A and B are shown apart, each in its own frame.
Chain A
Amino acid sequence: MARRSDTPPTAARDRVGALRAAARLARADLFARPGQTILTAVAIFAAATALVVTLALRAGLEDPFEDAMTATRGAHMAVHAGLTDADVARLRSLPGVVASDVRARANRQATVAGRTVEVGLEALPAADAAVDRPRLTDGRRPSAAGELLVERSFAREAGLRPGDRVAGGTITGLAVTTQQATYPRWDPGLIWATDVAGPERRVAVRLADPEGTEAFAAAARRALPGTRLAFTDWHHVRDTITDQTRTNALVISINTLLALFAVGFTVATVIGGRVLAQRREIGLLKAVGWTPRGIVALLVGEYLAVGFVAALLGLVAGAAIAPLLLEPMSSLLATPTPSALAPLPLLLALVLILAAVAVFTAVPALRAGRVKTIDALALGRGAGTGRASRAARIAAALRLPAIARLGVKDAFTSRSRASLTIAALTFMVVTLVAALSVEATFHRVIDDPALRAKPWDVRLEEPSALAATQGDPAVADATTISGFQVAGPRGELHARAVGDGFAAFPYAVPDGRMFARPGEAIAGRGLYETLGLQVGDQVTVRVEGQPVTLRLVGRHVEPDDDGEVVIFPAATLPEVPEPSAVIANFAPDTDQAAAARRLEAAAGVDAELPEEEVRGERADIRPIVLGSSLLLVAVGLVNLLATLLLVTRERARDFAIFKAVGLTPRGVLGVVNAGGAALGLIALAIGIPLGLVTYRAIMAAMSPSEGTDIVGTPGPFALLLTVPFVLAVTALASSWPGRAAVRVPAAAVLRAE
């Protein structure tokens, strides 16, 4: 009796026994096929890496400007003027102000990279300034006189690095800020120095209600009557940055979305496929007394163990890779570089991967557990319908060699796995096509700056330079352009007036036509939609209080200001507004860079070349698009490798038979390669059109004002290049399973039941 009382209760004993048995079985299973275990781990590792990078990128996209505002404690409003201490005190105590900071500010000419440009020199705020605290991204904060901190986009544009000398000082670091948008769209470039003094002050405030900027401005004007105040509203900064970064954010969003899908498919294919291949073992386990629930628990536990180790390694790799993409992205989006080591995305990635592993193990395990034990034991003895799949019938109809036909048939032995692999490969193709479409879009915009609403070769922000520009031998056409606000039927609108000779600067007008005479106008999609107008309608706006009626004759492609822009000949207005810039087109075969330098020297200002601007943007976004595309290709490769290895294992008997009836090792390799190629070709057939349609749809959905107008389609040659690329990827992925198939020990396999 005493011995009996030492024994644990039956249920508990059973549980301990089951756990011991499970641990032994799981260990045996994982070590019996180390290659497959490693591959499963590699697939989970790749998925986790891709997921971390993707989540980090997406976190940076969530609301990049908001992130930057938070990181820099950005001002809601800034007032720049010659202010006394009493003026400053008055502004800081206005209603609604919850925090403020004041610093000296002076604009000066400085020589940067051999050119004289205007820079905004500002007193370096305290490290813990309550408002507009520059966020250091490179180097260190200045700590002594003569040391400078440079705004990052200005530094990038001017080619400045820490250690360089500029404006009489030495750069010690770079920083981002939301007190102004990125250079050169917003100039002058900004430099903080420890020793700036002068009568000009900048008072930056944070408001209790960020939307109360207009009220603050009115109150400031009332508080300091007679003082000329220049305001910077955070809405304006945000709109400028967002306009500029929208395309980039859009492209990155598309890629990360695709990456998330690809990760899910990879885990589903690799884990689900392997569990399905274990159905016979599952039958054996049931035969020796395991319950279906116990089998599910065993398999889920086994794969979670592998998944946990692989996912942890993947998180480390992802955190290491992510900064390579995050840095260029943050530069593109004008935000501080987000950290790839943020605990939340890492934890989220781990949870997502483990949840995917559990689900994609449990579902096929449950299905396998429902197979009758006797049927499960009979699996692997050559089950099948004997009917050729559609792909195999096509292969037969094309009179492909027997080896190719066998390969095609083999690839479709498990339809569900073949479908998942095709889906994963299709995502890879869609990504490639999307990457090519991004290239094509940039190419199209570079070729036709009108698609950026900049139908000119060069722009000089110096209206008085018109005569000099017209006199330049390289200039074919030149005129002036003005940008100003007009009062529309439902609030303020952005307006542009083009001077005489506007016909030489045709905007891209997909609907209707370009304006041809004073009184006619074109407008962006946003304006039509906001005002509920159509091409052909009339709209009355107020310019300087005077009503002006415009007949809308076309819709132009307008990337800025949400498309709420109207453009018309300057002669439409009773009083021609002061031009803000000169625009010009060069004669054909002009050395544009040399001509631009000449015009800059004549005008004394920088020349803006739209083509150069787009080229720069393309160069910035390329590493991100290529990096994320390569990551997806790697994930697709692992997926295909896993699928083909599983197929090889399941078809070991068939390969042995092939060898017995005279298939050479090269023939066996050919069968496996043909299977991979068949899946790849189907993925190409689906992926290429799907990629084109998806890219177009996402562009339209995410950028309704201009997306479909600027979208570029890769040429047939570029699209055709995806075929050898994908086939090379599938051949690469097939080589290992192919060699495994060649090594199948025919004598042993064919003897076994």
Chain B
Amino acid sequence: MEPVIVTRGLTREYEGGVRALRGVDVSVDEGEFVAVTGPSGCGKSTLLNLLGGLDRPTSGEVEIGGRRVEALSEARWAHVRRDEIGFVFQFFNLIGNLSVADNVELPGLLAGLSPREVRARRAELLESLGIGEFADQSPTRLSGGQQQRVAIARALINRPRVLLADEPTGALDSASAREVMALLREAHDERGQTIVLVTHDARVAARADRVLAMRDGAVASETRLERGDKTAVARLMQLEV
């Protein structure tokens, strides 16, 4: 498999000298499901933001699909996100004054898809995620789990190479969290979606193929998980200690 994401010596230092990342080397293959875990403040969300171009590294390299992107302009990064990256956030980040359908269709329209094509993709995605009936409603009227499904649909509408998910279950009850993880797993298994997921929850991380455990701004360990490995959660929880 070709790596779709590669970072080399990635660092991020904030004002005041706080070093969130201290030289991170990561490689994610096409079709891989990688979880990044670790305690609060270890740098996992910073890593995700740098992979998605929402933040800029202090030094180091980022490659998406074999192309160096860390020095791209804001506008070029926007095109990379539009075409190759889908984001799912902890707090959904849906636009309250747009309907569910408008929220999902927005990236497709920005990417230049025809309105007909966008509508078709949106309808298919919402149906497959079980929220087709809410298309015309405001997302603020939906439950947390339903809102996160809308966010997943939005992230997938442009069929991105990579789905970046930042604590996607962090604001959900356990039942909703399980449903959302099942959907992400399904996207990976059935469509071969590459996913990089940040979580501090070992049970969530255990759904991935590979887990990167971070500590103090660096990757402390890497764990490959087999499907059906009943000990995975326990092993990952040990990593967190």
Measured CB to CB, the residues of A under 8 A from B are 381-388, 402-403, 406, 409-410, 413, 653-654, 656-667, 742, 746-747, 750-753
Q: Verify B78–A384 contact, CB threshold 8 A.
A: no
Which one of B95, B106, B138 lies within 8 Å of A387 (CB-CB)? Answer: B138
**Given A409-B98, A662-B82, A747-B49 in contact, is the A383-B140 Cβ separation under 8 Å?**
yes
Q: Which residues on the A side are within 8 Å of B79 (C-beta)?
A: 662, 664
Q: Which residues on the A side are within 8 Å of B111 (C-beta)?
A: 662
C-alpha spacing A657/B89, complex, angstroms: 10
| CB closest chain-A residue, reference B81 | A662
Q: Verify B96–A384 contact, CB threshold 8 A.
A: yes
B110: CB under 8 A from chain A?
yes
Contact with A along B13-48 (1 / 0, CB 8 A): 000000000000000000000000000000001100
CB distance from A136 to the nearest CB of B (A): 64
| CB closest chain-B residue, reference A412 | B97
C-alpha spacing A660/B52, complex, angstroms: 8
| CB closest chain-A residue, reference B83 | A662
| CB closest chain-A residue, reference B90 | A751
Q: Which residues on the B side are within 8 Å of A747 (C-beta)?
A: 45-46, 49, 54-55
Q: Which residues on the A side are within 8 Å of B55 (C-beta)?
A: 747
C-alpha spacing A665/B72, complex, angstroms: 13
Q: Which residues on the B side are within 8 Å of A409 (C-beta)?
A: 97-98
Which one of A385, A388, A402, A667 lies within 8 Å of B78 (CB-CB)? Answer: A667
Contact with A along B83-98 (1 / 0, CB 8 A): 1000101111111111
**10 tightest CB-CB pairs across the interface, nearest first?**
A386-B138, A662-B82, A384-B96, A382-B96, A384-B97, A402-B109, A664-B78, A747-B54, A747-B49, A661-B107
Q: Which residues on the A side are within 8 Å of B70 (C-beta)?
A: none
Could you give 11 example pairs across A and B, Cβ below 8 Å? Answer: A384-B95, A385-B138, A386-B100, A386-B138, A659-B81, A660-B52, A661-B107, A662-B81, A664-B79, A666-B75, A747-B55
Q: Which residues on the B side are within 8 Å of A661 (C-beta)?
A: 81-82, 87, 106-107, 110, 154
Q: Which residues on the A side are within 8 Å of B158 (C-beta)?
A: 662
Q: Verify A386–B97 contact, CB threshold 8 A.
A: yes
Q: Verify B98–A386 contact, CB threshold 8 A.
A: yes
| CB closest chain-A residue, reference B78 | A664
Q: Verify B81–A657 contact, CB threshold 8 A.
A: no
Interface size on B, residues (CB 8 A): 42
C-alpha spacing A657/B98, complex, angstroms: 12
B57: CB under 8 A from chain A?
no
CB distance from A394 to the nearest CB of B (A): 15
C-alpha spacing A753/B89, complex, angstroms: 11
**A interface majority secondary structure:** helix
C-alpha spacing A742/B73, complex, angstroms: 13
**Given A382-B139, A664-B74, A751-B166 in contact, is the A656-B109 Cβ separation under 8 Å?**
no
Q: Verify B137–A386 contact, CB threshold 8 A.
A: yes
- Of A402, A410, A656, the most chain B CB neighbours within 10 A belong to A402
Q: Which residues on the B side are within 8 Å of A382 (C-beta)?
A: 92-96, 139-140
Q: Which residues on the B side are within 8 Å of A752 (C-beta)?
A: 91
Q: Which residues on the B side are within 8 Å of A413 (C-beta)?
A: 97
B99: CB under 8 A from chain A?
yes
CB distance from A452 to the nearest CB of B (A): 56
Q: Verify A660–B97 contact, CB threshold 8 A.
A: no
Q: Verify A663–B110 contact, CB threshold 8 A.
A: yes
C-alpha spacing A443/B79, complex, angstroms: 55
CB distance from B105 to the nearest CB of A (A): 8
C-alpha spacing A700/B18, complex, angstroms: 72
Q: Verify B95–A657 contact, CB threshold 8 A.
A: yes
**Given A382-B96, A662-B83 in contact, is the A402-B138 Cβ separation under 8 Å?**
no
C-alpha spacing A338/B162, complex, angstroms: 73
Which one of B78, B109, B110, B138 lies within 8 Å of A665 (CB-CB)? Answer: B78
Q: Verify B75–A665 contact, CB threshold 8 A.
A: yes
New contact pairs (10) apart from A382-B94, A386-B100, CB-CB < 8 Å: A656-B93, A658-B106, A659-B81, A660-B52, A660-B93, A662-B79, A662-B111, A667-B78, A742-B74, A750-B91
Q: Verify A657–B78 contact, CB threshold 8 A.
A: no
Q: Which residues on the A side are within 8 Å of B74 (C-beta)?
A: 664-665, 742
C-alpha spacing A69/B166, complex, angstroms: 79
C-alpha spacing A145/B54, complex, angstroms: 85
Which one of A660, A742, A750 lies within 8 Å of B81 (CB-CB)? Answer: A660
